[in-house]
Structure 1
Amino acid sequence: MKKGIIKKTVMLGLGLLLATGMVGCSNGKDDQKAADTGNKKEVVIGLDNTFVPMGFLNDKNELEGFDVDLANEAFKRAGYTVKFQNIDWSMKEQSLNNGNVDCLWNGYSITEERKAKVNFSKPYFDNKQIAVTMAKESPTKLGDLKDQIVGTQAASSALEAIEANKEFIGMIKDKKPVTYDTYDKALRDLEIGRIKAVVGDEVLLKYYISQRGADKYKVLEGDLGSEEYGVGFRKKDTELRDALDKALDDMKADGTFDQIKKKWFNQ
């Protein structure tokens, strides 16, 4: 009789211990899930850190720019932390789709060709492709660059615009532009006379010459097309893209977007 009572008591005790343990395990998993949900996730942004004024290294070797400020604020609102990664801009889509970065945000022009490779955010900035030369040079408009050496950045929307304009590419020297891995290098060659003009993003070229001395340069009449900037994501990352779109919409609605724009463009 006592053995039966003892056996039942032991079994009851084991049952209580197992039940308690199961409850403890269940709570532990729920707590872990809540903790994971509460942690902000990191977004790695790929950029060319020479692209003024969108994202570039200043004199203190610190990254700053219009896109940098936008990205920090927008992803903060969306619940993410941000890490910026300098990449080879000519390999940007490959870096994105290989998983080296989570998005491309650096004056990234929306084109039909790029739409086939990436998932774009809503457009957030208007831009044009223009040409600049040194002030002392004779050209005043795009048509004056006949038989002249023209430079631009490799794998850029400016290069796409040049190649798409058959009249323009057909008249410049060698019927193709000289390409550089950064606009900074192209502009240096312009200054020492190796090339006659640089074709590039209006936002970059006008900011560059405003910092280096507007009287030294000349913006030629005409342009090679208008475009819009967007943020590029992998095709599958619609949730991340949508979160960013909402954050940018909110920033435009509450005036934060315009404040950042005024800081960098005084407009």
Structure 2
Amino acid sequence: MTERHPPRLRSIRTSQYVALALVSALAAASVWPAPGWARSLDSVRFRGTLGICAHPNSLPYAHKNGEPPGFQIEVGRALAEKLGVSLTPVWVISSFQIRRADCDIVLDAISNQQAQEESGLSLSKPYYRGGVILAVRPDSQIGTFRDLNGSSRVAVQVGSIASMLLNERGVPISTYGFQDEMLDAVANREVDAAIVTPAAAGYFNTTHEGHALRVIGPDEQEPDLVWNVSVGMMKPDKELRAAIENAMDQLQAEGTLERIYARYGMALHPPK
């Protein structure tokens, strides 16, 4: 499925969907090919490592110091193991400079080539269905996105597609910079609902035992708020692309992906 518009809901703590952009350089040019070169399966195996771009402080996605490491790092390690190599995180903070970062992959990339124009990533076949969801209190009467009306106040991120859609429908909104603030606002009864990612809501629930919010969606009746998710690859050759896709298929079939994401409170849905 291709979205009518590229999704723009891509910033959790500067960008926790695909938390990307160069913060650190890795290794010498003799070992790591220049970012403009095609990346081959042979070169990955020669180096003995797979480079993953990830944000250093963006749980549940990734975390540079301590435990848990984040699901992107855990999935990256499992993927690298399937390829017979280790994983090397390349810590980055924004998508604008991904072309300069010496990494091979980015996980949880939106499966829309338009949406990846600034990153220059090639996309694998999708491995789950993503988007945004509604988070409400357990006693809320809201059951779907269509229940949002003029009497509902909804937390949204500044400049997001969700904010635009709700404005068009006359639904009152409160804008926030970060998704954890939005979820706190729901829990504290400052708003009736929040439109956030499944990852943000799931992790909030795992870290707020006894105060979990109810999760609704993603809603396939809202095509601008749902999308498939892929592995983003930096200029892969066909052998590397095939190896990554085969490895992800194996991790899916074994239940490894489902178990990793579940540890962070997130349920995976099949792509469409």
Check whether the contact 1:132–1:199 (CA below 8 A) recurs between aligned residues. yes
Q: TM-score, normalised by structure 2?
A: 0.60
* AA at the equivalent of 1:150: V
Alignment of 1:103-118 (within 5 A): 103-105=105-107, 107-117=108-118, 118=121
Which stretches in structure 2 are left out of the alignment for 5+ residues? 1-43, 268-272
* TM superposition shift of 1:227: 2.5
Alignment of 1:41-80 (within 5 A): 41-47=49-55, 49-52=57-60, 55-57=61-63, 61-80=66-85
Query: CA deviation digits over 1:1-49, x for unaligned, max 9?
Result: xxxxxxxxxxxxxxxxxxxxxxxxxxxxxxxxxxx97441451322474
Distance in 1, matches of 2:52 and 2:211, equals: 39
Could you tell me which residue of structure 2 aligns to residue 119 of structure 1? Answer: 122
* TM superposition shift of 1:146: 2.6
Alignment of 1:17-32 (within 5 A): none
* Larger Rg computed on CA atoms: 1
Distance in 1, matches of 2:45 and 2:92, equals: 30
Distance in 2, matches of 1:124 and 1:48, equals: 23
* TM superposition shift of 1:252: 4.2
* AA at the equivalent of 1:132: A
1:152–1:231 CA distance, 2 compared to 1 (3 A):
farther
Distance in 2, matches of 1:86 and 1:195, equals: 34
* TM superposition shift of 1:86: 4.6
Could you tell me which residue of structure 2 aligns to residue 247 of structure 1? Answer: 247
Which stretches in structure 1 are left out of the alignment for 5+ residues? 1-35
User: Is 2:213 the counterpart of 1:190?
Assistant: no
Distance in 2, matches of 1:247 and 1:198, equals: 35
* TM superposition shift of 1:172: 2.4
Check whether the contact 1:130–1:201 (CA below 8 A) recurs between aligned residues. yes
Q: TM-score, normalised by structure 1?
A: 0.61
What is the identity percentage for the equivalent residue pairs of Structure 1 and Structure 2? 14
Could you tell me which residue of structure 2 aligns to residue 150 of structure 1? Answer: 154
* TM superposition shift of 1:197: 1.9
* AA at the equivalent of 1:178: T
Check whether the contact 1:40–1:80 (CA below 8 A) recurs between aligned residues. yes
* TM superposition shift of 1:131: 0.6
Distance in 1, matches of 2:46 and 2:113, equals: 38
Could you tell me which residue of structure 2 aligns to residue 209 of structure 1? Answer: 205
What RMSD, in angstroms, separates the aligned Cα atoms of the two structures? 3.9
Could you tell me which residue of structure 2 aligns to residue 132 of structure 1? Answer: 135
Distance in 2, matches of 1:72 and 1:122, equals: 19
Distance in 1, matches of 2:45 and 2:214, equals: 53
* TM superposition shift of 1:231: 1.6
Check whether the contact 1:132–1:197 (CA below 8 A) recurs between aligned residues. yes
* AA at the equivalent of 1:233: M
Could you tell me which residue of structure 2 aligns to residue 17 of structure 1? Answer: none
Distance in 1, matches of 2:45 and 2:261, equals: 35
